Structure 1
Amino acid sequence: MDGVTVIDHPLVQHKLTFMRKKETSTAGFRRLLREISTLLCYEVTRNLEMTTERIETPIQGMDAPILEGKKLVFASILRAGNGLLEGMLDLVPAARVAHVGLYRDHETLQPVEYYFKAPEDLRDRLVIVVDPMLATANSAIAAVQMLKDRGAANLRFLCLLAAPEGVERFRAAHPDVPVYTASIDSHLNEKGYIVPGLGDAGDRMYGTK
């Protein structure tokens, strides 16, 4: 799909298989999500702009590569997005963090906003929006629009699993925002869950179901 990168690294796919298993415990699911999010973060940040800085090693001076521009912003769609956020911050601890509070109404499948907090200077930063699942895409579309309304102009969306229907809707709404995912699964069921999927990521991560 245009604008979509499937991260098919063997370690990502291996860990994803264990996350899919219904017998995986809450603790195991949470640990795997943190581990896999670090690997996903590695890929979604692969082409960051670089510059050089003059440094002194113990041997001699050199022009060494360093990230260019302001620090990244990781925007977590609450609550499940925090599972990806923690592992990503392990890799990029200096990143700024935005929180977008949305939940899906299980009757209408539409997102309901209840919280938003983000750095003020979003326009000057790369914003990586994170949510484990891109199912109907309603929450992702709304979250990205909220960030754009606050000035964000350079965004990427990172998820663990996506449904073809969600990818199509998201790309139609935000064609300027590339999508990174570990898997594009078969389809959505009548309740809006990804098939075969892994269930509700938030419930499995927090043990609430």
Structure 2
Amino acid sequence: MTGKKDKAAKEVRAADGICVRKNISKGELVIVEHPLIKHKITLLRNKDTRVNVFRDLVEEVSTLIGFEATSDFPLYEVEVETPVAKTFGYKIEGKKVAIVPILRAGVSMINGLLRLMPLAKIGHIGIYRNPETFEPVEYFCKLPTSISKRAVLLCDPMLATGGSAVAAIDMIKKRGAKDIKFLCIIAAPEGVKTLHEHHPDVKIFTATLDERLNDHAYIVPGLGDAGDRIYGTL
């Protein structure tokens, strides 16, 4: 049985480059697979990885995920002159981008994405999870102007219950955004299902899909609390 699953996954990868696309819910989940990502995820999981190294790894994985999340940006042809001759190349066509992290852990993904899109505008959404009910609590929202005309990359390293992601997408859509993608480093099946039950139009990009949530709503095997490990507040 496992062999058949592995074979199916390989067939998808072969047809679609470095990605595995899974339909485990109403929407689309894209798992960005690459040897570099697998290596860096292993280092992120390690409980002994130092804070400074952990931060750098989050940025690096964010860049690799962002590479795939922007693969559908439209292009137009332009003429360009090299030192040798004139030729034709391509530029991205009128795609204004907003990078919107969910505070606080999502902030760690900004620089990795800005390496790809240095002119992107930055927004912030403040949501924390009630430790007793695990429900999201909203406390801040500041988005770039003309959000309705921008491609929004919503970022949070962990997609656990999905509650915070759903609340953040609700907030963004209320302000007019239509083109939204959710980028995370590790996702749980429960979070993917919850997000897509509420927002099937939002495509999820992740580096890995883990097994499940535990009784404390932590992803298993996961990497612990991403915010605590990023900011050294363990």
Shift of 1:53: 2.5
Aligned partner of residue 228 in structure 2, secondary structure = helix
Q: Alignment identity in percent?
A: 46
How much is the aligned-residue C-alpha RMSD, in angstroms? 1.1
CA distance in 1, matches of 2:82, 2:139: 50
Deviates more, 1:84-93 or 1:16-25: 84-93
Aligned partner of residue 184 in structure 2, secondary structure = strand
Partner of 1:104: 129
Q: 2:77 aligns with which of 47, 52, 56?
A: 52
1:133 maps onto 2:158 in alignment: yes
Structure 1 gaps, min length 5: none
Partner of 1:15: 40
Shift of 1:70: 3.3
Deviation sequence 1:16-75 (CA, Å, 0-9, x none):
000000011111111111111111111111121111223333333333200011321111
Whether the 8 Å contact between 2:73 and 2:95 is mirrored in structure 1 is: no
Alignment of 1:134-149 (within 5 A): 134-149=159-174
CA distance in 1, matches of 2:97, 2:83: 30
Structure 2 gaps, min length 5: 1-21
Q: 1:64 aligns with which of 89, 92, 103?
A: 89
Deviation sequence 1:80-106 (CA, Å, 0-9, x none):
001111211122111111111111111
Q: 2:144 aligns with which of 119, 123, 126?
A: 119
In structure 1, what residue type is equivalent to 2:84? I
Shift of 1:128: 0.8
CA distance in 2, matches of 1:27, 1:203: 12
Aligned partner of residue 127 in structure 2, secondary structure = strand
Partner of 1:187: 212
Shift of 1:164: 0.5
The alignment covers a number of residue pairs equal to 209
Shift of 1:142: 0.5
In structure 1, what residue type is equivalent to 2:69? V
Aligned partner of residue 165 in structure 2, secondary structure = helix
Partner of 1:156: 181
CA distance in 2, matches of 1:63, 1:71: 23
Whether the 8 Å contact between 2:37 and 2:207 is mirrored in structure 1 is: yes
In structure 2, what residue type is equivalent to 1:198? L
Shift of 1:122: 1.4
Aligned partner of residue 75 in structure 1, secondary structure = strand
CA distance in 1, matches of 2:29, 2:222: 18
In structure 2, what residue type is equivalent to 1:207? G
Partner of 2:6: none
Deviates more, 1:169-178 or 1:116-125: 116-125
